[in-house]
Chains A and B, each alone.
Chain A
Amino acid sequence: DAGVIQSPRHEVTEMGQEVTLRCKPISGHNSLFWYRQTMMRGLELLIYFNNNVPIDDSGMPEDRFSAKMPNASFSTLKIQPSEPRDSAVYFCASSFAGLGIGEQFFGPGTRLTVL
């Protein structure tokens, strides 16, 4: 298995632009997580999907952030409009969850820089 795949690996954009991050989870996993990591705040969970349904989006910082999971093999995290404070590394992780959250496997991340 190729593991969790994320694209792009690096994104540089200007303030106000729309940014779309993509994730392909491990085949057979039924849970998907989007995280953000910065030096100041560490690792923050943004949103959690189970069986393609958003279960908990309490970590999404504001309405500029949205996430979708149209099928079991693809998810997107969109920021519109982007701001410099959104600069961070964004990780996608997947797991197989029976009761609760199982072992998580992370993708390589997307490093986002908003100028």
Chain B
Amino acid sequence: KQEVTQIPAALSVPEGENLVLNCSFTDSAIYNLQWFRQDPGKGLTSLLLIQSSQREQTSGRLNASLDKSSGRSTLYIAASQPGDSATYLCAAYSGGGADGLTFGKGTHLIIQP
């Protein structure tokens, strides 16, 4: 069964820094991997979806990479801002039905002004 791990569980950095969030998965046979952010008391907002055939996706200051062979995806945030403070979750889809979808527990990110 797929396991998805996000380390660290929490991260606090000063405004302006570039940072990397990590997502590791145990089964490299994934179809896609999706990154979300969740603000307190809100739903999940989709950030980026990477298909298994892709190596990276970019949206504004965000860049997500996927390395299936190493079982790893990273979310790079450039020039961090206080508004980036949120919990970031990744979800790996390994095919089949919904039992092939596994979420990590998230990284709680705080950007200090």
Contact = CB atoms under 8 A, between A and B. Distances in A.
A91 B100 CA distance: 18
Given A100-B31, A101-B93, A103-B49, A45 B98 contact: yes
Contacts of B44: 91, 93, 104, 106
Contacts of A100: 31-32, 93, 95-96, 100
B103 A105 contact: no
A35 B106 CA distance: 16
A55 B46 contact: no
Interface of A: 4, 33, 42-43, 45, 47-48, 55-56, 58-59, 91, 93, 99-109, 111
21 contacts: A33-B98, A42-B103, A42-B106, A43-B89, A47-B98, A55-B98, A56-B99, A91-B44, A100-B31, A100-B93, A101-B31, A101-B93, A101-B98, A101-B100, A102-B32, A102-B49, A103-B46, A104-B91, A106-B36, A108-B42, A109-B42
